[in-house]
C-alpha cells in the first residue's frame, strides 16, 4: 500500500529542479570568476557544458521534454538561453 508521502508532489519536484539550477549557477559563476580566459568566455563555455550535461541526463533518464513538471530538459533550455543572452550581450565565443 502506497502512502501519500512515498510519491513527491509536482511542486516538490519542480522546486528541486529550481534549487539544483541555482546551486549549479553559483558554482558556474564561481569557476568563471577565477578562470584565466576571462569571465564572459569561460561562463559561456561552462553554460554550454551544463546544457550538454543536462540534455544527456534527461535523455538517459528518458524524461519528457514537455512534461508538466520541471526536469532536466527545462534546465538545459535555461542554460542555453543564458548562454545565448551572454553571447549576445558580450560577444563572447565559446
pTM above 0.85, yes or no: no
Residues 6 or more apart whose Cβ sits within 8 Å of residue 94 = 41, 44, 45, 47, 48, 83, 87
pLDDT digits (tens, 9 = 90+) for 19-63: 999 999 999 999 999 988 888 899 999 999 999 999 999 999 999
pLDDT digits (tens, 9 = 90+) for 66-88: 888 889 999 999 999 999 999 88
* Distance from the Cα of residue 7 to its chain's centroid: 24
Q: What angle do CA 63, 67, 70 make, to 5 degrees?
A: 85
Q: What is the pLDDT at residue 67?
A: 86
Query: Average pLDDT, whole number, for the chain?
Result: 86
Amino acid at each position: 500500500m502506497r502512502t501519500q508521502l512515498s510519491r513527491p508532489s509536482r511542486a516538490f519536484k519542480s522546486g528541486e529542479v529550481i534549487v539544483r539550477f541555482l546551486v549549479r549557477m553559483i558554482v558556474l559563476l564561481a569557476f568563471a570568476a577565477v578562470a584565466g580566459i576571462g569571465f564572459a568566455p569561460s561562463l559561456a563555455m561552462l553554460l554550454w557544458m551544463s546544457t550538454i550535461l543536462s540534455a544527456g541526463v534527461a535523455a538517459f533518464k528518458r524524461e519528457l521534454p514537455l512534461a508538466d513538471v520541471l526536469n532536466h530538459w527545462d534546465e538545459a533550455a535555461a542554460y542555453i538561453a543564458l548562454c545565448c543572452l551572454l553571447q549576445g550581450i558580450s560577444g563572447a565565443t565559446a
